Structure 1
Amino acid sequence: MYIFTTASILFGAALLEIRGQPVNSPSDNSPRIRCDYTFFKDAQGWFKLHARPATWHDAQAVCHSEGSSFLYPANEVLMDTALHLMTDASISTIHTSMTVKLESVTLNEEGVFLRAGLNDSFPFICKYKVESLLLNECGTVDKDYQFYNGTAHCYKLHKNKANWFKAEAACKAEGGQLAIINSQKEAAVIVDIFKNNPADQIPGHFEFGKGVAFIGFRSLDEGHSWTTINNETLSEAGYAEFCPGEPNNAAGNEYCGSVRRTGKLLDDPCTRELLFICEKKPEEHDN
């Protein structure tokens, strides 16, 4: 192990003196961005410590998939936040950043930066910061949730692709659910969501992946029938219009539901990584 600098030791030592004081503590009265992130008032952001060790690149990918960024404690407030989370979880070392020599920079429980290999696995912290703490009309500070008059519901197109199960978990963490199309009017809303997110604004190289998103239905009997995550058949939910020739189970394991830019439904492998659409009612938020 290599200690970064004498300054980093002094910086960490000074923070250890601060940690006994209520300089930066979790707030229970703030709006939540996700139920699995904790808001710290002084840091003006939400943070999540992932206790399961990961390599540096995998840790970056996890934060990105959650719509957040990798925490590098560049100032005293962020350092105090990191040490607070580490202490609460009994974690001694986390990934933080990368050096110009392509080495990982870790942070230990004493506030000291150390070098490690990028392929070494450590816990890590993701952070989510927003420009404003004011709730929007969707009952969240997440500006990506947009209210649509056609259904009086809010929707968010996640551009960070995920498999169906991770997509469902992400929507729940944000206080919503994978979108369910209940009518032609709601199908038109889905079309509008895609129009507001043109393909050239979505990361990736393949056009197909920019025009299909997971939503809240799947098959539990290998494609013989389809139900929503609310345990309704598509007909009971109010919309069952598939693309021509679909569902066709072309890959032999297409048991999760998706929607094209046209508003028509598809079957896709549950493990395929796609865009996904979350839906929430305006009153579904935490204060």
Structure 2
Amino acid sequence: MLRLLLVFGLSYVFSVTDVCGTPDYLFSFEAGGWLKLHKTPQPWEEAFVQCHDEGALLASPLNKGLANAIHSQLAQSSVNGQVFLGIHDYYSKGDYVSVEGVPLTDMDIKWAAPGNGPDAGDCLTMTVDGSARYASCKDPLPFVCYRKLDNQTLNECGTFDNEYRLNQKTGSCYKVHREKVSWTRAYKSCSSEGGHLVILNDAEEARIITAMFPPRTDKSDPWERFYIGLVTWGKDRVWTTIHGEKIENVFNKWSSGQPDNYEGIQNRGALIWNGELDDVSAAGVKLTFVCEKSPKSKRFADLPPCSEKVIRLCSLCDESQI
């Protein structure tokens, strides 16, 4: 069993040695996983979604090690004040649980002195001294995301998300999001996953992305589209990609009569199922979208070299077998 575990540990490290980039989730033995401090304040629900999109959870002091690790993130940062914890009573007033469903009474909580009561809010925060307080969920605060170590490995796209698939022709990884959202929400989702809204560099890439539309039927939307990373600027409507490339230098085959800036609000680009471009509103239209990610970028840092600590954290065998 030990030999099998060592192979697992080594394969994890080797699977990401050719993946570069600066990870923003750092591994903590004390936490038994990866942590990331978000310094930009957000309301609690938006913080929850941000962590979720990144493949993590809003961190809670589920045990002493995790409580210490969250406190260390806060103490070592320039954040003055509090950070949101993943603890709330949204489901039932006064019944506080973590986002994993762990009751407050089962967590390692050090209360602030003097403390405040539940009337102060439906969420919990941690202060710079490591103590917890009740707080409003609506007031924006920094927050910490956490991903527990398990037996998943980073795939060839440098992510735990297996919906990303590497295309050998373009060298990029792609993921289709089937839920229809605004362009802004699509942009944020891709960014949170370590990628970006797809940029169509040429006709070949446009054909590859067009092939990701569902098969056409009699009931198919004649204007079925994907949001892409194309935007327009200023009164002269200068089109560029979200990375600043001129539209003349990337795929730019517009559908007949497009872009028409209908009602003067169409300032984002979309790919129609027939492989041509359309201009759309950033907020007024909800569409599916495609995220693009470099296989050389990653969000989560490598595990430390395979060791007894790593094997124990993986929890893949009895301690008697280590």
| Bucket of the pairwise TM-score, normalised by the shorter protein | 0.5 to 0.7
State the identity as a percent.
28
Cα distance in 1, alignment partners of residues 163 and 235 from structure 2: 34
- Corresponding residue number in structure 1 for 2:82: 93
Distance 1:118 1:35, change over 3 A: same
Q: Secondary structure at the match of 2:174?
A: strand
Q: Deviations over 1:215-272 (max 9, x none)?
A: 23222344655333455544532x3233444222114132222224443322123456
Cα distance in 1, alignment partners of residues 228 and 201 from structure 2: 12
- Corresponding residue number in structure 1 for 2:227: 214
- Corresponding residue number in structure 2 for 1:255: 267
Give the alignment partner of residue 115 of structure 1, picking from 134, 137, 140.
Answer: 134
Q: Secondary structure at the match of 2:229?
A: strand
Cα distance in 2, alignment partners of residues 280 and 53 from structure 1: 26
| Higher-RCO chain (CA-CA 8 Å, sequence separation at least 6) | 2
Gapped regions of structure 2 (runs ≥ 5): 1-15, 95-121, 303-322
Aligned pair 1:145/2:177, yes or no? no
2:32 touches 2:66 (CA, 8 Å); kept in 1?
Answer: no
TM-score where L is the length of structure 1: 0.65
Shift of 1:57: 2.9
What amino acid does structure 2 have at the position aligned with 1:185? Answer: E
Cα RMSD of the aligned pairs, angstroms, is 4.1
Give the alignment partner of residue 64 of structure 2, picking from 76, 83, 106.
Answer: 76
Distance 1:284 1:112, change over 3 A: closer
Equivalent residue pairs, number: 246
Cα distance in 2, alignment partners of residues 120 and 230 from structure 1: 32
Aligned pair 1:277/2:290, yes or no? yes
Q: Secondary structure at the match of 1:219?
A: strand
Residues 125-140 of structure 1 correspond to what in structure 2 (within 5 A)?
Answer: 125-128=144-147, 131-132=150-151, 134-140=153-159
TM-score where L is the length of structure 2: 0.59
- Corresponding residue number in structure 1 for 2:187: 167
Indicate the structure (1 or 2) with the bigger Cα radius of gyration.
Answer: 2
Shift of 1:83: 0.7
Gapped regions of structure 1 (runs ≥ 5): 1-29, 199-206
2:26 touches 2:36 (CA, 8 Å); kept in 1?
Answer: no
Cα distance in 1, alignment partners of residues 155 and 23 from structure 2: 20
Q: Deviations over 1:33-86 (max 9, x none)?
A: 995732224245443323344433343344345554322221233222211111
Distance 1:142 1:169, change over 3 A: closer
Residues 196-215 of structure 1 correspond to what in structure 2 (within 5 A)?
Answer: 212-215=225-228
Distance 1:280 1:122, change over 3 A: closer
Q: Deviations over 1:108-164 (max 9, x none)?
A: 344433323333443322234575564422244443321123433212335685645
Q: Secondary structure at the match of 2:264?
A: coil
- Corresponding residue number in structure 1 for 2:25: 38
What amino acid does structure 2 have at the position aligned with 1:84? Answer: S
What amino acid does structure 1 have at the position aligned with 2:254? Answer: F
What amino acid does structure 2 have at the position aligned with 1:148? Answer: N
Q: Secondary structure at the match of 1:101?
A: coil
What amino acid does structure 2 have at the position aligned with 1:114? Answer: R
2:210 touches 2:273 (CA, 8 Å); kept in 1?
Answer: yes
Distance 1:274 1:76, change over 3 A: farther
Residues 29-68 of structure 1 correspond to what in structure 2 (within 5 A)?
Answer: 35=22, 37-42=24-29, 43-64=31-52, 66=54, 68=56
What amino acid does structure 2 have at the position aligned with 1:69? Answer: L
Cα distance in 1, alignment partners of residues 151 and 236 from structure 2: 44
